Each structure stands twice: as structure tokens, then as C-alpha cells.
Amino acid sequence: MHRIIQEVKEILVFSILSITMGLIIFVIGVIIRRYKVVELLSVYNPKKVVDKDGLANWAGSKLILTGVMVVLIGIFAYVLPVSNDTFYIVALIIVSIIMTVWTSIGYRRYEIK
């Protein structure tokens, strides 16, 4: 019984952390996209960027999508618990890698060539 309670606590903590992280990423994406605050991006260099608005739309959209996906993983982890959280942790890692690579490749469209 104690082990089941411990597993439920772990799933709940993982879900809360995932949802919180996803919401933070989502909000940052909205700020970047809506208010064109590309200065929040670590790769932003005003001397190299030719289309600040395009970059803001691209990066903001990808952050919004990433945030939604992380929130969904947190919700799924709570609603559909598995015996091992490794599945959802791997899902988070895969989403992070795919979105980082996709965003990085797209970022190059807005740089001076």
C-alpha cells in the first residue's frame, strides 16, 4: 500500500512540474510572438537578423507548440499513469530535442547569409 501511495505522489509531482514548465514555455512563446521580444532568445543577434518580426513569429510559435506538448505530457502522465515514469521522461526529452532542432533550423531563415 505504501508503495502505491509513493508512486501516485511521484506521478503527481511529475505532472505538476511538467504542466508548470509547459505553461512557462507557453507564456514566453506568447510574449515573444505577440510583443516581438526576440531579445529573450539566447541566439538573437541584432546584427545578424534581417527579419525581426518573422523571427518573433517563428520562435514564438515553436515555443507555444512546445509548451502545449509539455503540458499534454504532464496531463497524460496524470490521467494515464504507467508503472514507470521513464516513458514520460523520454517523451519530454524527445519533444525537447525535436523542437530545439526544428527551431534552430528555422532560425537560420532570418539571419544574414
**Sequence ranges of the domains in the chain:** 2-110
Q: Count of alpha carbons within 13 Å of 30, Cβ hemisphere only?
A: 8
> What is the average pLDDT score of the chain?
91
Q: Answer yes or no: is pLDDT of 100 > 80.
A: yes
pLDDT band at 23 (very low <50, low <70, confident <90, very high): very high
Report d(CA 50, CA 55) in Å as an integer: 9
How many CB atoms are located within 10 Å of the residue 1 CB?
5
Report d(CA 85, CA 82) in Å as an integer: 7
pTM given for the model: 0.91
pLDDT band at 10 (very low <50, low <70, confident <90, very high): confident
User: Using N-to-C axis directions, what is the helix angle for 2-35 and 52-79, rounded to 10°?
Assistant: 160
Q: Where is average pLDDT lowest: 25-34, 55-64, 72-81?
A: 72-81
pLDDT band at 69 (very low <50, low <70, confident <90, very high): very high
59-71 as b/e: b if 16+ CB within 10 A: bbbbbbbbbebbb
